[in-house]
């Protein structure tokens, strides 16, 4: 990825020198902060405070100042930042770039191009799929594929993450759509769009995403999916990746059921389960009895 510049002054002296940044540079910073947070979790069972992060950065800079910065200064005396409180209910605003996890190693991205009443938004989906979360530099270099009208529930529930913002021109053409897609339905639509664009394999299927459901429903849905996954394992319909999801005896809270967890025969069977369950939630209750019966009826 190339280097980009902002209007922010890099020298901090009122000159016209721009600040340059890149995908690799942001990744390096993200890796450092992630490692620091991991050390705090291991030692104190919490994340570091902002002041603790500043202390480490300030100390690290002063230890190797001549090697690390081009500024003609003797030392860094303090670091500060402007902060604001997190909103009680996160909302995407115009221009927000949103990262959407379809599965643990499948991330897709969109940008809010219009904010409507009742917290609906119109987004444009980018032709980008990554195995780990990408930063905004990489995302904005991708092309837009299509626009969708969505409910903001994915952002409200903090399953979809706002990772940055890119302004939207006043005359930007926005598609008019009469109805909004719920969170999981939107993920299905995104999957199909990215498959048509060649960004996802045609064989990829997203059958369930626990965190795309209302928080009050997740416990029951996770329990139902655990029963189904155990049934599929007993029938030898899980891949090694699928078996690993059940290794601890229960499913992780961020579980999503997709084609990569199932064998070819498992996908053939679960396509039928999905069609039965998608609109009705048929297997959410009395799961063990219903999945056994459905298996018998479809052999």
Per-residue model confidence as pLDDT tens digits over 59-68:
988 998 888 8
Ramachandran assignment for 4, one of left (phi > 0), alpha (psi -120 to 50 degrees), beta (any other)? beta
pTM: 0.72
CB 108 within 8 A of CB 212: no
Q: What is the pLDDT of residue 1?
A: 46
Q: Tell me the percentage of the chain whose pLDDT exceeds 90.
A: 59
Choose the weakest-confidence range: 90-94, 123-127, 160-164.
90-94
CB 271 within 8 A of CB 277: no
Q: Does the pLDDT at position 17 exceed 70?
A: no
- Give the residue with greater pLDDT, 161 vs 299: 161
- Give the residue with greater pLDDT, 265 vs 15: 265
CB 125 within 8 A of CB 16: no
Q: What is the pLDDT of residue 208?
A: 95
Average pLDDT along the chain: 89
1-20: average pLDDT? 59
Residue 5: pLDDT band (50, 70, 90) is low
Other beta carbons within 10 angstroms of residue 235's beta carbon come to 14
Tens of pLDDT, residue by residue over 228-244, are 999 999 999 999 999 99
Q: Does the pLDDT at position 179 exceed 60?
A: yes
Tens of pLDDT, residue by residue over 145-157, are 999 999 888 888 8
Q: How far apart are CA 129 and CA 190, in angstroms?
A: 11
Q: Tell me the percentage of the chain whose pLDDT exceeds 70.
A: 93
Tens of pLDDT, residue by residue over 246-294, are 887 789 999 999 999 999 999 999 999 999 888 788 998 999 999 999 9
Tens of pLDDT, residue by residue over 180-196, are 899 999 999 999 999 99
- Give the residue with greater pLDDT, 2 vs 85: 85
Q: What is the pLDDT of residue 98?
A: 95
Tokens 């899980």 correspond to 238
Choose the weakest-confidence range: 13-17, 37-41, 121-125, 285-289.
13-17
Q: What is the pLDDT of residue 12?
A: 52
Q: How far apart are CA 205 and CA 24, in angstroms?
A: 31
- Give the residue with greater pLDDT, 117 vs 217: 217
Q: How far apart are CA 185 and CA 150, in angstroms?
A: 9
- Give the residue with greater pLDDT, 213 vs 5: 213
Buried b (16+ CB within 10 A) or exposed e, 78-113: eeeeeeeeeeeeeebebebbbbbbbbbebbbbbbbb
Q: How far apart are CA 128 and CA 132, in angstroms?
A: 12
Q: Does the pLDDT at position 9 exceed 60?
A: no
94-98: average pLDDT? 94
Residue 4: pLDDT band (50, 70, 90) is low
């Amino acid at each position: 990825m190339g280097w980009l510049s902002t209007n922010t002054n890099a020298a901090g002296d009122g000159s016209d020198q721009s600040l340059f940044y890149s995908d690799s540079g942001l990744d390096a910073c993200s890796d450092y902060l992630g490692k620091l947070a991991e050390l705090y979790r291991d030692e104190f069972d919490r994340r570091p405070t902002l002041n603790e992060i500043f202390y480490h950065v300030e100390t690290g800079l002063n230890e190797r100042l001549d090697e690390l910065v081009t500024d003609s200064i003797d030392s860094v005396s303090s670091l500060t930042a402007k902060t604001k409180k997190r909103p009680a209910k996160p909302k995407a605003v115009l221009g927000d770039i949103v990262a959407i996890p379809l599965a643990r190693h499948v991330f897709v991205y969109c940008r809010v191009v219009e904010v409507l009443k009742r917290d609906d938004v119109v987004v444009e989906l980018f032709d980008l799929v990554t195995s780990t979360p990408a930063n905004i530099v990489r995302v904005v270099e991708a092309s837009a594929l299509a626009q969708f009208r969505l409910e903001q529930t994915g952002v409200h529930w903090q399953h979809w993450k706002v990772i940055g913002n890119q302004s939207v021109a006043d005359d930007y053409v926005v598609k008019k759509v009469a109805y909004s897609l719920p969170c999981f339905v939107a993920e299905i639509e995104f999957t199909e769009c990215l498959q048509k664009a060649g960004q996802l394999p045609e064989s990829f299927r997203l059958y369930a995403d626990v965190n795309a459901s209302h928080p009050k429903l997740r416990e029951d849905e996770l329990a139902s999916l655990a029963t189904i996954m155990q049934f599929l394992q007993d029938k030898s319909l899980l891949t090694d990746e699928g078996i690993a999801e059940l290794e601890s005896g229960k499913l992780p809270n961020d579980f999503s059921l997709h084609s990569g967890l199932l064998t070819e025969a498992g996908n053939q069977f679960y396509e039928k389960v999905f069609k039965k369950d998608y609109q009705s939630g048929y297997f959410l209750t009395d799961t063990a009895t219903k999945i056994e019966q459905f298996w018998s009826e479809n052999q």
